[in-house]
Amino acid sequence: MRGLRRWWDDTASGLPATFWYLWSGLLINRAGAFAMLFLSLYLTAARGASASLAGLVVGAYGAGGAAGTLLGGVLADRWGRRSTLLAAHLGAAGLMVGLAFSRHLAVIAALAALVGMVHSMPSPAFVAAIVDVVPEARRSRAFNLQFWAFNLGMAVASLLAGVLAEASFLALFLVDAAATLAAAVVIALKVPETLTRRPAVTPRAVAGRRPGLHTALTDRTFLAFVGLTFLLAVLTMQTSTIMPLAMRADGLRPSAYGMVVALGGALIVVGQLFVPRLIEPYRKSTVLAVSTGLMALGFGALTVADGLPLYLGAAVVWTVGQMLAAPPNAQINADLAPPELRARYQSVFYLTFPAASFVAPALGGLSLQHLGERHWLVVGALGLVTAVGHLLAGPPRERRVAALRAAAERAETVSAGR
């Protein structure tokens, strides 16, 4: 017991109170964000929509999410982290109440797109605020705790959603709104504005232009990292898009798929907190190469998987890879962003996930149909390419981060002199 207490003290030490309030808000937000998990079922079962129409409405939610990610990044840098978080949470709570009582499918589709936008707006602001308040030496642990809270919240949301959906769809939306409102209250009462105005520290390639979203979109070092993260996201999306089809082709029941997903979630909740100490001695590019290599191995092993035990074993391997990748991925993203553009850089980074959620099923379904089990060899090869990419991109990234730190120190010196 003392050892566990000592380990927790080491994990949590050096993290300011504002971080923990942000962490609590994120946990409440994720645990309560369950209504949209059942949107397609709600549309078909309660509103009489066809499967194709339900798919279009869910697609509208995804399109709104892509727009909200960019909007959240711009607002968080211009308006402030706290203001953006409050506006997004209050807007989401109100829109969710509107969805609860809407009857016309056109209205529901419009509301779903708006909900997707306000659901995605907090992500860049949350991460930018964490970078603002957490000392650089503790950010890896902070991001690890953030990833853990996100997954724990999603696990709770999945359980609550099933219970509430069976009881009442109205309750599903209203409880979601109440949880979102609770997160807004925590932020309003406990989270101060963390955005501070600093002298611009932008990459040389765009010096002379006013920094903005275009800065992130033309930053080649950053975009190389975003591209590698996109490939990592395509790997991760296999579990929710292509793997269920492969398991059904192998004669496995839906409950078997549920067991594989539940195992991955349980591993993250139980083991994620131990990751920072494990990876701390190593370079971030090396950790990312190893993590994507493990994911390549796990998904590649599905080439010969024909029963539940092999799927479960492969899930352990790729989940460990995901766990190792989370802290350095977030920290590199924070390190590459000039201080005055943190949220904008986060918004571009987060676009990789909706993009992967489109590409993974679209190309993966085609690949599975024509290649069969050899599809997983392609996925494994993609993981190995990503691992090599991280090893090659690591040194330029490190030089870029060192240059940004030096420029930031010079800017702070000039500002202090003034």
Percent of the chain with pLDDT over 90: 28
Q: Each residue of 5-31: pLDDT tens digit? A: 555 555 566 789 999 999 998 888 877
Confirm if 229 and 397 have CB atoms less than 8 A apart: no
From 283, 274, 262, select the one nearest 323 (Cα to Cα).
274
- 321-331: average pLDDT: 88
- 304-311: average pLDDT: 86
pLDDT tier at 2, thresholds 50, 70, 90:
low
From 71, 41, 65, select the one nearest 55 (Cα to Cα).
41
From 86, 62, 72, select the one nearest 344 (Cα to Cα).
72
Q: Each residue of 43-89: pLDDT tens digit? A: 877 888 886 788 778 778 878 888 888 899 999 988 899 999 999 99
Ramachandran region of residue 269, left (φ > 0), alpha (ψ -120 to 50) or beta?
A: alpha
Length of the chain: 418
Q: How far apart are CA 165 and CA 86, in angstroms?
A: 27
pTM: 0.76
Q: What is the pLDDT of residue 206?
A: 43
Q: What is the mean pLDDT of the chain?
A: 83
Tokens of 266: 């349980």
Query: Where exactly are the structural domains of the chain?
Result: 16-191, 212-418
Q: What is the pLDDT of residue 11?
A: 58
Q: What is the pLDDT of residue 412?
A: 62
CA 233 vs CA 19, 236, 351: distances in Å: 26, 5, 11
Q: Which of 115-119, 149-153, 377-381 has the lowest mean pLDDT?
A: 149-153
pLDDT at 306 > cutoff 90: no
Q: How far apart are CA 205 and CA 270, in angstroms?
A: 44
Which residues, 6 or more positions from 338, have their beta carbon under 8 angstroms from its beta carbon?
200, 201, 202, 203, 211, 215, 345, 404, 408
Q: What is the pLDDT of residue 91?
A: 95
Q: How far apart are CA 95 and CA 104, in angstroms?
A: 15
Q: Classify domain 212-418 at the CATH class level.
A: mainly alpha
Q: Classify domain 16-191 at the CATH class level.
A: mainly alpha
Q: Which amino acid is at 359?
A: V
Q: What is the pLDDT of residue 247?
A: 80
Q: Each residue of 184-228: pLDDT tens digit? A: 999 999 999 998 865 555 554 444 456 777 888 888 889 999 999
